[in-house]
Structure 1
Amino acid sequence: MKSLALAAALVATASMATAAAEKYVLDASHSQVLFSYNHLGFSTTYGMFSGFEGEIMFDQEDPSASSVTVSMPVKSMFTGWEKREAHFMSDDFFGAEDSDMVTFTSTGIEVTGENTAKITGDLTMNDVTKSVVLDAKLNQVGDHPQAGKPWAGFDATTTILRSDFDLGLFAPFVSDEVAVTISIEAMKAD
């Protein structure tokens, strides 16, 4: 009987430990993934991805127990110049089909300050998966004034190498390093 009570207590404790993380769904209309790279030393070229989906399992009491998954269509890339976008979708770079996705799945979170963390995760792009680290900041958590439900906002940055994802054409003339800036809003799931 004691072992049955102990097992029940362990199950209850485990349930309580995992119950703290709450599911938040990304608000694609207020979330962006921006990127920039140096073009021949003359300028910085910018672009963005939109139309992405994802969720955050957010544990406000223990952020290191949180997780995030995001996916976005490669073809949602916008650079402001159609010929550049067409070149990026060609076999020189992505060779993208409508179903090709860029994904990020967190594998660990290290809290670095009151509202900051390093989020390590697997970034998959162009059929290549590499580990990357995002420097993340919690902007705000609270009730959304229009939606009337809990909302959370985060910013993050990282730098990736195009060549790590078999996208290194023209490097080093066009920088191999790509700076990535992420800003997202997420609503608590119903």
Structure 2
Amino acid sequence: MKSTLLAAALIASSTAAFAEAQKFALDPSHSQVVFSYNHLGYSTTTGMFSGFEGEITFDEANPENSSVSVSMPVKSMFTGWEAREGHFMSEDFFGAKDGDLITFTSTGIEVTGDKTANITGDLTMNGITKAVVLAANLNQVAPYPFGPNEGVPTAGFNATTTVVRSDFDLGQFAPYVSDEVEISISIEAFQQK
């Protein structure tokens, strides 16, 4: 009985909390940005970025009024092969210095279904800003089930997009190494008090 009352209280407080837009902070330990590209027609190479920060303002009642901003260090790239990462950080590609960031800031959201939306925003990479569209899916919004964040309203999203790396002056070896890079994003974010 006690647990049923607690669950009902959590659901009620979660529902009340989303009556207006709420701010959520990304949980970097359970969020990933993964990229993949074709290598000479032989294989698909993947990598990921970590250590990113960001904030989501989520309006569950009117999702089109939501927004997202994310940044990640260029040097947090991991591909599983140190020599490749070193090459990507060289002047052939990023010419990365400590503190260089990749950022995304939403500029508009078009709701496409009960849990889907197209998020348009400005992607800045290698000092160049281009508009991109993320095809996003809301996985769930629910109180976190256990641990130090137990009961904290938590949102989870997946999104995908394709970027053309030469648009960001990163087109070395194209078209032999594909100019198009597929990006897959999965994030968790905790509501801020």
Is TM (by shorter chain) over 0.5?
Answer: yes
Partner Cα distance (1:21, 1:165) in 2: 33
2:43 corresponding residue in structure 1: 43
* Equivalent pairs, count: 172
Question: One-letter code of the match for 1:65?
Answer: N
Partner Cα distance (1:20, 1:149) in 2: 16
Gaps of 5+ in 2: 1-18
1:105 corresponding residue in structure 2: 105
Partner Cα distance (1:65, 1:58) in 2: 8
Post-superposition offset of 1:20? 1.6
Please identify runs of 4+ aligned residues in structure 1 that moved more than 2 A.
none
Partner Cα distance (1:86, 1:77) in 2: 10
Post-superposition offset of 1:140? 0.3
Corresponding residue to 1:165 among 168, 172, 185: 168
1:129 corresponding residue in structure 2: 129
DSSP 3-state at the match of 2:95: coil
Question: One-letter code of the match for 2:173?
Answer: F
Corresponding residue to 2:152 among 145, 149, 152: 149
Partner Cα distance (2:81, 2:20) in 1: 45
Post-superposition offset of 1:97? 0.4
Question: One-letter code of the match for 1:30?
Answer: H
Partner Cα distance (2:88, 2:126) in 1: 11
DSSP 3-state at the match of 2:156: strand
Question: One-letter code of the match for 1:189?
Answer: Q
Partner Cα distance (1:77, 1:189) in 2: 28
Post-superposition offset of 1:114? 0.2
Corresponding residue to 2:178 among 165, 175, 179: 175
2:12 corresponding residue in structure 1: none
Partner Cα distance (1:169, 1:151) in 2: 40
- State the TM-score, normalized to the length of structure 1: 0.90
State, as a whole percentage, how many aligned pairs show the same letter: 72
- State the TM-score, normalized to the length of structure 2: 0.88
Partner Cα distance (1:149, 1:163) in 2: 42
Partner Cα distance (1:58, 1:123) in 2: 20
Greater gyration radius:
1
DSSP 3-state at the match of 2:41: coil
Post-superposition offset of 1:141? 0.3
1:185 corresponding residue in structure 2: 188
Q: Are 1:90 and 2:93 matched, yes or no? A: no
DSSP 3-state at the match of 2:34: strand
Query: C-alpha deviations, 1:47-105, integer Å up to 9, x for none?
Result: 00001000000000000000000000000000000000000000000000011000000
Query: C-alpha deviations, 1:130-176, integer Å up to 9, x for none?
Result: 00000000000010012121000000000000000000000000000
Post-superposition offset of 1:36? 0.1
